[in-house]
Structure 1
Amino acid sequence: FTLLFPVILLFIFGSVFQDTIAPGVTFSQYFVAGMIASGLVNTGFQQLAITIPMERDDGTLKRLRGTPMSVTSYFIGKALLVTILMIIQTALLLFFGSVVFDLNLPSDPQLWWNFAWLVILGSACSTVLGIAFSVVPKSGRGASAVVSPIVIILQFFSGVFFVFTSLPDWMQQFAALFPLKWLTQGMRSVFLPDDFATQEVAQSWEIGKTAIVLVIWLIVGLFFAIRTFKWSRE
């Protein structure tokens, strides 16, 4: 379900909203870029922030603690799992986006390089933030009710479901504090025409700033993940 949910949303929103939002750009194409970025957050942050409390409650983490596995190894294992799922999910979104909604895949190697580091950095950032946030839910059963609304709100505020510049200024400023806004903008820089950059708030893709924001969140997330991670609730 985690893999297919973004694809299902892509079909629903992409089929309903097909208006042209700029010369040569339809909302469907805009939405594909947003869903790729959102998929990184769903598969990393949301999935881990929900499943880790469940593993903590059912004793899985406690049993792992009794093995030679270190916290670092656990983090790496989760990161690899998230990366594999993200690669599959992104491939599905790119396939259906290009076949069904005429998403233009880049021909410039530099754009594919940008796409690669956005996925890697976004995946790492999402993973450590999900691990760090996993201490917030009081139980595994209630984790989804805590985590899912946060992700949905960030998706609405970050230009996943709507054109970002059409949102109120306060929403734009709030979203700019979090990595999802920058991931969606970065993905748009890869898959939308260069001249669409003038439609962004800063009238440019701000690739350098995107990298800086993601690195900062990666460091913050890693710090809190290491400091707050618990094998059990005791």
Structure 2
Amino acid sequence: MSDTVSPPAAIAASPVIPHRLPSVAATGWSRGIAESKMFFREKDSVVFTFAFPIILLGIFGSIFGGTLEGGPITVSQLYTAGLIGAGVMSASFQNLGIGIAVDRDDGTLKRLAGTPLPRSAYFLGKILNVLLVALLQVAILLAIGVIAYDLTLPAEVSRWFTFTWVFLLGITGSALLGIAASSLPRSARSATAVISMPFVVLQFISGVFIPVTELPEWLINISSLFPLKWMCQGFRSVFLGDAGAAFELTGSYELDRVALVLAAWVAGGLVLCLTTFRWKSRRDG
């Protein structure tokens, strides 16, 4: 009788090595690459996203030229700092709010929820795409400000440190707010209007297009509840320096208050996401 083990028995005797799934970081990175490729393939969306603040900077810089009250700061430099804040919020709040609403409406979220992809990896991919778009937005606006409007980049490390924490807190709070707001539109067709309208209003009352010193007190009180005003204030402290503090409401940039409000929006935005986010559209129940 042969001692050779039959193939089925040999297979049964061999140890089963479990397949290890990729980590959340790895799948999130892959999802981020996919999200970025999809974003840059939409040429019209890419052009609008990056060209819109540039056009506004050119228009407002041309209409309201000159310096502020004869000082060293020009109106165009003021707009550059404000539009950097608006660009960061546009890349996070607006793009995420609209993009996730579209993913929910066309069934993408529902399909992803049925795959082994960790749900956190989906959001990580979105956030990586937001970071890329926001950094490109900031770089373009700074280049235009330096070349066309004599904006001076800060030489002090402390001001770049301020830029870093304002950017990170601002983009995180705005992104979380965008994720929460993505549940508001009833369909993909209404997402742009529902998300964009409050963002446009916020830009006018948060010191992006109109200096906060020119706004009525009740509008200032409303804008103070949202992160955009504080992001713009933080970025003005970085790129306008001490000379620009005179044009703030209190004569100071109040960086401690900027940090407090933006951190509160990070915490509050997380709570809103956990309590309001839906993976299914309303028609799916």
Q: Same fold, TM exceeding 0.5? A: yes
For 1:34 and 1:178, the matched residues in 2 are separated by: 15
Q: 1:36 aligns with which of 84, 98, 101?
A: 84
Percent of matched pairs sharing the same residue = 46
Write out per-residue CA displacement over residues 179-201 of structure 1, whole angstroms, 9 at most, x where no aligned residue: 10101110110011303212211
State the partner residue of 1:168.
Answer: 216
Q: 1:65 aligns with which of 90, 93, 113?
A: 113
Matched, 1:156 2:207: no
Higher relative contact order (CA 8 A, sep 6+): 1
Point out the structure with max Rg over C-alpha: 2
Secondary structure at 2:188's aligned position in 1? coil
Matched, 1:12 2:59: yes
Secondary structure at 2:68's aligned position in 1? strand
Moved over 4 A (4+): none
Write out per-residue CA displacement over residues 3-31 of structure 1, whole angstroms, 9 at most, x where no aligned residue: 22212211221122213114101110000
For 1:196 and 1:130, the matched residues in 2 are separated by: 30
TM-score (norm 1): 0.96
Task: State the aligned residue count.
Answer: 234
TM-score (norm 2): 0.80
The runs of 5 or more residues in structure 1 that have no matched partner are: none
- Aligned CA RMSD, in angstroms, stands at 1.2
CA contact (8 A) 2:73 2:243 kept: no
Secondary structure at 1:25's aligned position in 2? coil
Matched, 1:110 2:158: yes
Where do residues 1-234 of structure 1 align in structure 2 (5 Å cutoff)? Answer: 1-22=48-69, 23-233=71-281, 234=285
The runs of 5 or more residues in structure 2 that have no matched partner are: 1-47
AA matched with 2:51: L
Q: Relative to structure 2, which stretch is displaced further, 28-37 or 73-82?
A: 73-82
AA matched with 1:12: I
The offset of 1:69, in angstroms, is 2.2
